[in-house]
Each structure stands twice: as structure tokens, then as C-alpha cells.
Structure 1
């Protein structure tokens, strides 16, 4: 009788609560003045075409002044979603202000039957302030619920191009350290120089050196390919640290396995460079 009762309940849906229709929106403001809106709602609508249409409507509601809107289906970790890419979302400059009103997006989602939608915002890695309802917003994530007021997000970005100039000091110091390490005639100069190249390589990995190019893009100083090259230029310090590390390792191995010098003064090398 218990099995029959469970079968009847499963067949008619008895005891099964109605699941809330949910979606997820991820908004990314880019450092070149554009943005893209990702809508994760596949499987909750009738077709991919409906998902793309809804993503386009949401993007236009959030950024009414955007141009060149392109919508396509993509996958992330095997999960399909619709991405709306757009340009001219904000005007680049020394100080950027952007306002994102979620009320139109909430209205579109409610009309499609979504009662609860998670929304996440990301901005370029520059000094910025994000406020929702006039108050600073730390997590930069919100819930768009039916019947609840939609947040109005104000973004203020203050790019600092000088930070990119400071990051470019790392590959310059790394190149100088490698050059002195291989071609200086005295170890007292060559070994610290090689160590400096290794330190700059580690700093380029630990510090966000590869993200400082966003300051140039938001400030409107560089665009396109030039901006892409400038963004990765500080990371040149990383490969420069590899030969410097090999030089230090070779000197260490020679010091451990080679003949003892007995405190004798260093003889002048016959060729240029400690390594050779």
C-alpha cells in the first residue's frame, strides 16, 4: 500500500512543491568602453532563440546608449548561456560615471516568468566606487525579485595610468638584471643583479602587474591592439626571471661541487661574464 501511495503521488505530482523560476545575469563592464551581459536561462525558456532575444532586451534596458550589440550562444564549464556584447557603454576619460538601472531588466524577466534572478556586476581593475541606492555596495551582487524594487547601480571609475608606468618598471629592472648577470665581470655585481631579475619576476606574478593596462583603457589613452600589447607588457618580467634563475642555480651548483677556493681572491675571468 505504501508503494502504491508513493506511485500515485509521483504520478500526479502530489507533495512536490512548485519550483521557483530562476535565472542568473552576469554584467561585465570592460576597460575599452564596452560591456557584455551574460544570461543563464537555457532550459527555462522554449529555445535558444528566446534566450538570445531576452538577453538582448535586458542588455538594451541596462545600457540604452550602447551600440553594436551582438548576441551569441556560448558555453562556460559545459553550461550554455547567451552573451550580449556591446560597445560605447560609457565614455572613457580621467573620470568615468556609469548608471545601470535594473528596473527594465526586472520587468522583462518578470514577463518571462522569472521570479528570482541573481545579478552580478564586475568592473575593470581600476580605482572605482560602486553604489546601489546611494550606499556603497561591497559584494556587487543583487537579487532581482518579483514585487521588490530593482536596484539602481552607480559606478564611478578613476583610472590611474601612472600605475601602469610603475608596473613597467618590473620588466625594465628584470632586463637590466639579466644583462648584468650574464655579462658583468664580477660576481659581486652579477649575482645580485640576477637575483634582482628573479625578484621582479616573482613580483610580476604576485602583484597585479598584468591588470594595470586597464587604467590606460578606461582613461582613453590606448585602444585596440595597442591596449592589448600594453596590458601584457609588464608580464615580460616573468620570462626574464627564468635565465636569471638558471644562472643563480648554476653558480650554486658550482659552489657546492667545485673545488674549494680557500678564501683566495676572485681571479679575473678570461671572457666576459660570470656565467661563461
Structure 2
């Protein structure tokens, strides 16, 4: 549970899990700034889906493959958030785990897709985290318990990367996705050690199979709802796939857990433990 009103930057919030995370924190009274590469989805989320929170929400289109665009967007977000970012949720990334068009690693043409995975899923979170440091850091040992001008409590500022259970287990033809999510795990514990200097914690949440297609404009318009499917029951010890809200709650825990840093919370319904 977070104390008071936090200022939160969330990437990849136009639809899917990111939209659910944005709604979760906006509904609890926090001030948020959401970004996404898909401007239409982002605009709908901000101006229609979450319109009741418009007074505490800003948004901007951002391409995570552009360093200049990331830095400019973070500056814009910081201005909206009163020049302070308490929490960064690095949710954006290429979500499809498979090579396009049924291709495999043996096809030399997948190198372009590989680079897109690296740029978006790994370099993007690094650059946006780097850009947020000036607005997140806590100056001085005495301020680490509760930073001036913030009401987020003893936990202090935190970055949460969105990983995947595919960093730990994989199906065929997921090299680009699995490798970059595994790289994000390494980035998480490395950043946690490095950013202690600034009083910033860094953690990762790794979802398993989460059904989130209903978290979209078309899902709203067609009145789609989350539902349990037979194949989900067969592979999950909890007898269902994940809800977007499962991930939102895990993220909130990581943000508020002041004694937790450099850790990866796998939220997969136990699927990685099935023999």
C-alpha cells in the first residue's frame, strides 16, 4: 500500500497490462503520466477510458527506439508531475514473443527483428530510467527515509521493469523476446546496486500468461470481458490465466516494499513450476 499521492510515470499504457496498471494507480488518487508509441490507443485511454482522472493524468506519444524522444518525453512528464517522479514503471516493449511470419532463428532476415527487440525491450528501459534519475534521486543520506516534497513514505523512489516468465523458460522461436527479457533481469539487479547511491530501488515483475486483449478500445466497444479458457486450466496450478489486475497488484507491492530491491517477482500462476 502506497502512502499519500505518488507521482508515477508509466510506459506502454495505451492498452493491455499497461492500461490496467494506469487505471489501478489513477483510481487510487495518484498523479500519473502515461506514454505509448500508439497515439490513438493512448489518446483513447487518457481521454475516454480514464477521463474521470483527467485532472491528475498527463500523456504523450513516445517511441522507445528514439533516445531523443525518450529524453524529451521524460522532461515533459516531469513538468506535469511537479518536477518529481516517485515511481517509474517500465512496461512498454514488444509483446509478441515469436518471430513474425512463422520464421525461425535459421532465417537470416530475423536479425532486423532481433534488433527491434533489443532496442525496445532493453535499451528503451535503460534510457528512460537514465532520464528519470534527476527527478527521482534522493540527495543526502538523511533524506533517504522520506524525500522532501514527497508523500510516498519510507519506501522511497522505485523503478519497476516489466519482465516475463520467458526470461526463465521458453518455447521455440522466442530468442529475441526471451533474450531481452533475460537481459532486463540482469539490468534490474545491476541498476539496483548502482542506483543505491541515489536512494532509488529497482525491481522487476515478470508476468506469465496474462489475458489482456480486452484492455483496449476495441475491447471496450465490443464489451469484451476477461474469461477463463480450458487450456488455461490445464497448464496453471491456479486453474486460470492471469488477470491484468494480478500484475497491477504485484507492481504496487514492489513500489511500496522499502526493503526489496534488485528482485524479480514472477507472477505466473505457478506455470514455471509445472514439470
| TM bin (shorter chain) | under 0.3
Bigger relative contact order (CA 8 A; separation at least 6): 2
User: In terms of Rg, which structure is larger?
Assistant: 1
Q: Which has the higher strand share?
A: 1
**TM-score w.r.t. length of structure 1:** 0.28
**TM-score w.r.t. length of structure 2:** 0.28
